[in-house]
Amino acid sequence: MESLRTSVHLISSQVPGLLVNEGQILSLSDRVTVDLHELVRRAKETGTPGAALSDEACLEWLNCGDLLPGWYDDWVFQEQQRLRKVRLRAFLMLAHRWLEEGEIHRAVEAAESALELEPLHESAVALLISAELKAGNRARALRTFEAFRTNLQIELGIKPTEHLANLAADIHANES
């Protein structure tokens, strides 16, 4: 407790107004912005009408990397997982929308970013395969499926869903 008091005193004297001490509650001033909070807010705004940032700027923010890499405290792990889920949802939403809008290369980029976060996320794989097919790259789409199927079998001992298997089967069926 003495270390906390000393730290609070030093911080308050070196950076006046940074901390708000309200008896039992110690917090940051409202004037302080936390980049994690800003990232989560922007990720949740991604794709909404009237969003403050363009989708490209949001994509840049979403590619920020992990929170506090190398830290192994339970609270850090929980926050890392929470941020990862927020980022994953935003990448998937962007990939889906860009695919619908015909922005194929952007859809591929967003789907690949989602798979970097969660390599066994079937929806991200389906979006990536669909984007590759729309780009006319059937070979890459098939390689994406085969790599996913292999990883899924190795990691979890299961097969892809019927939907994804049918998507891959359609690639073979459309051979000329």
Q: For the domain that residue 94 is a member of, what is the CATH number?
A: 1.25.40.10
The pTM assigned to this predicted structure is 0.77
Residue pair 141/169 in contact (Cβ under 8 Å)? The answer is: no
pLDDT averaged over every residue in the chain: 86
Judge whether residue 123 has pLDDT over 70: yes
pLDDT band at 47 (very low <50, low <70, confident <90, very high): low
Q: Which residue has the higher pLDDT, 57 or 110?
A: 110
The residue-averaged pLDDT of 152-168 equals 94
Closest CA to 139 of 106, 163, 175: 175
42 and 26, same domain (yes or no): no
26 and 38, same domain (yes or no): no
Which residue is listed with tokens 């929470």? 82
Distances (CA, A) of 117 to 12, 36, 82, 124, 157: 38, 17, 12, 10, 20
51 and 40, same domain (yes or no): yes
- H/E run at residue 131: helix 122-134
What burial class does residue 137 get, using C-beta atoms within 10 Å of its C-beta: 0-12 exposed, 13-18 middle, 19+ buried? middle
96 and 167, same domain (yes or no): yes
pLDDT band at 135 (very low <50, low <70, confident <90, very high): very high
94 and 45, same domain (yes or no): yes
Residue pair 45/53 in contact (Cβ under 8 Å)? The answer is: yes
72 and 143, same domain (yes or no): yes
Number of domains in the chain: 2
pLDDT band at 69 (very low <50, low <70, confident <90, very high): confident
Closest CA to 28 of 70, 67, 2, 36: 36
Judge whether residue 142 has pLDDT over 60: yes
pLDDT at res. 53: 53
The residue-averaged pLDDT of 42-69 equals 69
Question: Angle at CA 82, nearest 5°, toward 109 and 34?
Answer: 90
Which amino acid is it at 31?
A: R
13 and 80, same domain (yes or no): no
Partners of 19 in the β-ladder = 28
Residue pair 8/58 in contact (Cβ under 8 Å)? The answer is: no
- The angle that helices 104-117 and 122-134 make with each other, rounded to 10 degrees, is 160
134 and 98, same domain (yes or no): yes
Name the percent of the chain in helix, strand, coil, to the closest 5. 65, 5, 30
pLDDT band at 175 (very low <50, low <70, confident <90, very high): low
Q: What does the block give as tokens for 175?
A: 């051979």
Domain assignment of residue 105, given as a range: 33-173
